Structure 1
Amino acid sequence: MTSAPALDERLPDRLTWWDTTWRVGLALLLGLVFWAFTAALVFPDPDQEPETWRGLWLVLVDPLLGLVAAGCLLLRRRWPVAIATITTLLTGASTVAAGAQTIALASLATRQRWREILPVGALTVAAGLFSARIIYPEPGTDSLPLWAEALVNVLVVGIIIAVGYSIGSRRALVRSWVERAQTAESEQRARVAQAQTAERSRIAREMHDVLAHRISLVTMHSGLLSYRQDLPEDERRAAVTAIDSNARAALTDLRAVLGVLREDDEGSPLRPQRTLADLPELLDDVRSAGTRVSLGEGGPDLTTLPETTSRTAYRVIQEGLTNARKHAPAATVTVHLAGRPGSELEVTISNPRSLNRDADPVPGAGVGLLGLSERVTLAGGRLSHGWHGDEHRLAVWLPWAS
């Protein structure tokens, strides 16, 4: 995942119109200083008549070539090596162009590529010697020897390259900071999106666990009213009452789920979720809907069972009863609890095949066991389900801390 930089985020490689303007202005200013220094050095006596061609060259051609070199700076980002080479060649015939060539050479050095810097640097030294020896030679016989003048040019060029190289290092550092900030921002957005997805999945699991049980009861009674037109009035009223009570209970459970999912500022749930302490109420609701349920005798003492394990076990039993009512109507469902502290809590829900093979199956989303398996895995337990002969068995083992 990538992110675009913010509007107020300053990237080190991005130039504004002002950045370009002051660079061109600085190049012209440096060129003017070099031109004045050259004029004073080559023609020290104001009363002396300068040579015709050198005077015309210094006054007319030199500034014109300097303006051309300054204009080339506008393209140095697109063709850095070519522009640095062109401005360097122009410095061999124009002192005003030396200002633009200084900016171009420093800009080339910011790229930190020695295979580009060294040839242009050598060409700069050669162009400086050509200008000083051929175009504007110093009058008199006390001028520096060639090797000394070359050494001075090498030192000046080395300083320019060092400054440009340090600017390039700083830009690379700032660029890495910007990339790290963008990466951190992208990762933060990814974590937020992942948290939102996880929260949606949690809500979906809670809604399924809570509402599937109630809605299956409503579906069963409404189906009974649809297909049994010969029901006695008292049974019809009982079915309508069951539909009404389960619909109201579904709304109540829905409010409870939403209350649990909404947490206060301290992070504690607003309402407790159902645990195995509410198992008798769950079994009574199932029996009132017409499903025969038997709870195994000799169950363990659940007072020391951790709340999270108890809540997961309650959801397992609720899902098992819902699936049994959907896929094996009129069959007897057996719920068995076993285990002890320091070991595991074993929850088993078993039922034979449906005794009423003509009944239409209750539609389902097909994700109940998948969500239940995920819930059990997150709790550190194991889940197994399938047919063993003519009996379907859903078994879950959950850790029971001592």
Structure 2
Amino acid sequence: MNTDAPTASALDDAALRFVRFVRPRLGTIVICILFALEVLAMLLVLQFLTVTWRQVMGFVISTVCFALLLTRHRTWRWSLPLVMLLSFGGFPFAHIAMYGYAKRQPSRMRAVAWLGATITAHVAWNVGSYFLTGERDQLINDPEFANDPITPTFEAVMITSLELIALLSLSLSMAIGIYVAMRRERAAAMEDRLRIAQEGRRAAVEQARASERTRIAREMHDIVAHKISLIALQAGAMEVNDSLTREQMAEGTALIRSTASNALTELRQVLGVLRDEDTSAPLTPQPAWSDVIGLVETSNNAGARIELDNRLGDDAVVPEAVARTAYRVLQECLTNVHKHALNRAALVVIGRCPLEGADGSEAAGQRALCIEVHNRIPDHPNHSLPGARMGLVGIEERIKQAGGTFRVLPSARGDFTVRAEIPWGACPTS
């Protein structure tokens, strides 16, 4: 039983190879069979007929035209009519000629028109030459038919049958050529669709990679910019204050060390995502509502002057997605205060408010978490901490993804206000 399995498998493989070899060449194989049958029929008929000069010349010229038809694609414009028109001797080549023409001709109607024209000319040429060149008299006067004269009915049936066979065989050749052409077109169309699908998949992958890079870059910006600004703020305060005691210096350096350590830890977690297969996982431990309130305390410990007006309360129950977005918004706003308004007091107001639409109108029945950060614009901006000027752009994108609104409102009095409204049922954002 085991010995028969390899044999059956080998037979199946051989059959599969045979099908793969024959299938794309099926049209050519059928045409070759028709050609062989036509040659065989011609040899059988020539046993009863005398070969004329027209048949010999037709065979020679048809052979030359057929050879040119095989070597060059555009020779069908003149060689195909000659192959079709010439006498009985060149007729077997007409199958291959019509097959090649139909396979290369993109217009199906033009191929059918050529078939009709050439068959009409072929019939007219052969029937006319049969009656006008003496072939009919030669056949009637043949001694073999002396005791069995050809009747008009038999003559009509013979001529009609021969031309009908010619019509059917040429039509079959053309149909096979059209079928092969259609298969090639279908294969080309499938290749185009496959190529377009592959390009679409590559574009989707590239878009996903770009989105992931943007997500990671935004997270790194939020972490590094805020932590480094706190470190610079604390270091600057220690540098300009000569009256600090040893304990105060120790507290300041401990704050700088802990801030830097936290920044490195979060940065390692972000970079670890680049080596992780699951890039959709959260980049860092996600902040909670208590972390949002703690941002103000951390900034004040670093030397900033920020007042918090928390109208929700420290123990408010805030959805996780809203808390995460609020944390990033407030983090970026405080970072800008550290950079550009270091010696100015700032006010942070947190509460609930009706959600406004993009046009400023109030959305019916929707509530939002509202964060406002007010600070005075300094007369001499601080350029010691350069920025990429992309933080507010990233925050605006976060708010829009959550379905909220974001506004930056500088006033003529020198105030700078950032207002963010995050829908209370906001979708998760990274």
The TM-score bracket by the shorter chain reads: 0.7 to 0.9
Q: Secondary structure at the match of 1:183?
A: helix
Residues of 2 paired with 1:290 and 1:240: CA distance? 13
Structure 1 position 83, deviation (Å): 5.3
Q: 1:376 aligns with which of 363, 375, 399?
A: 399
Q: Does residue 291 in structure 1 map to residue 304 in structure 2?
A: yes
Structure 2 equivalent of residue 6 of structure 1: none
After superposition, the CA RMSD in angstroms is 4.0
The one-letter code sitting in structure 1 at the alignment partner of 2:59 is: D
Structure-1 residue corresponding to 2:40: 36
Name the amino acid aligned to 2:117. Answer: A
- Which residue in 2 is equivalent to 1:113? 108
CA positional deviation for 1:191: 0.9
The residue that corresponds to 2:90 in the other structure is 94
Report if aligned partners of 1:336, 1:348 keep a CA contact under 8 Å in 2. Answer: yes
**CA-CA distance at 1:179 after TM superposition:** 2.4
Match among 166, 191, 195 for residue 208 of structure 2 = 195
Give the whole-Å Cα distance in 2 for the aligned partners of 1:222 and 1:123: 97
Alignment of 1:247-266 (within 5 A): 247-258=260-271
State the distance in 2 between where 1:381 and 1:34 align: 81
Contact 1:351 1:393 in 2 (8 A): yes
In 2, Cα distance between equivalents of 1:85 and 1:302: 95
Aligned-partner SS, 1:290: coil
Closer, same or farther: CA 302–192 of 1 in aligned 2, 3 Å: farther
SS in structure 1 at match of 2:285 = coil
Q: Do residues 344 (structure 1) and 339 (structure 2) align?
A: no
Calculate the TM-score normalised by the size of structure 1: 0.76
Q: Which residue of 1 aligns with 2:377?
A: 353
How many residues were matched structurally?
Answer: 374
Residue from 90, 103, 126 that aligns with 2:121: 126
Q: Please say which of residues 322-331 and 32-41 is displaced more in the overlay.
A: 32-41
Q: Structure 1, residues 169-191: CA drift from partner, whole Å, max 9, x if none?
A: 44444433332222222211111
What is the alpha-carbon distance in structure 2 between the residues aligned to residue 129 and residue 231 of structure 1? 121
SS of 1:144's equivalent? helix
Counterpart CA distance in 2 for 1:340 and 1:295 is 17
Structure 1 residue runs of 5 or longer lacking an equivalent are 1-15
Mapped contact 1:300–1:340 kept (Cα < 8 A): no
Deviation at 1:126, TM superposition (A): 1.6
CA contact (8 A) 1:353 1:391 kept: yes
Residues of 2 paired with 1:122 and 1:340: CA distance? 84
Task: Quote the residue 1:143 is aligned against.
Answer: 155
1:280-316 deviation per Cα after TM superposition (whole angstroms, max 9, x unaligned) = 4322321222111211153357643211111000111
Work out the CA distance in 2 between the residues paired with 1:201 and 1:305. 27
Alignment-derived partner of residue 103 in structure 1: 99
Of the structure 1 ranges 371-380 and 31-40, higher mean CA displacement relative to structure 2 is found in 31-40
SS at 2:178 equivalent: helix
Mapped partners of 2:300, 2:202: distance in 1 = 49
Q: Tell me: CA distance 1:353–1:39, structure 2 relative to 1, closer, same or farther (3 Å).
A: closer
Alignment-mate amino acid for residue 304 of structure 2: T
The residue matched to 2:287 in structure 1 has which SS?
Answer: coil
Distance 2:35 2:174 in 1: 18
Q: Which residue pairs with 2:420 in the alignment?
A: 396
Residue 337 of structure 1 contacts residue 347 of structure 1 at CA under 8 Å; is this kept in 2? yes
1:263·1:269 contact (CA, 8 Å) conserved in 2? Answer: no
Query: Deviation per CA, 1:223-265, whole angstroms, max 9, x where unpaired?
Result: 668x859787847766655443332221012134456788786
Unaligned runs of 5+ in 2: 1-20, 141-149, 355-365
Query: Contact (CA 8 Å) 2:35, 2:96: kept in 1 or not?
Result: yes
Partner of 1:335: 348
What is the one-letter code of the residue matched to 1:62? Answer: F
Which letter maps to 1:123? T
Alignment match, 1:11: none
Deviation (angstroms), 1:125: 3.6
Matches within 5 A, 1:360-371: 360-371=383-394
Structure 1 match to 2:188: 175
| One-letter identity of the residue aligned with 2:419 | A
Change (3 A) 1:231 1:41: farther
Report the alpha carbon displacement of residue 168 of structure 1 after superposing the two structures with TM. Answer: 3.7
Shift of 1:40: 2.3
CA distance in 2, matches of 1:264, 1:96: 66
The TM-score normalised by the length of structure 2 is: 0.72
Aligned pairs for 1:184-333 (under 5 A) are: 184-221=197-234, 234=246, 240-258=253-271, 269=282, 272-300=285-313, 303-333=316-346
Contact 1:31 1:66 in 2 (8 A): no
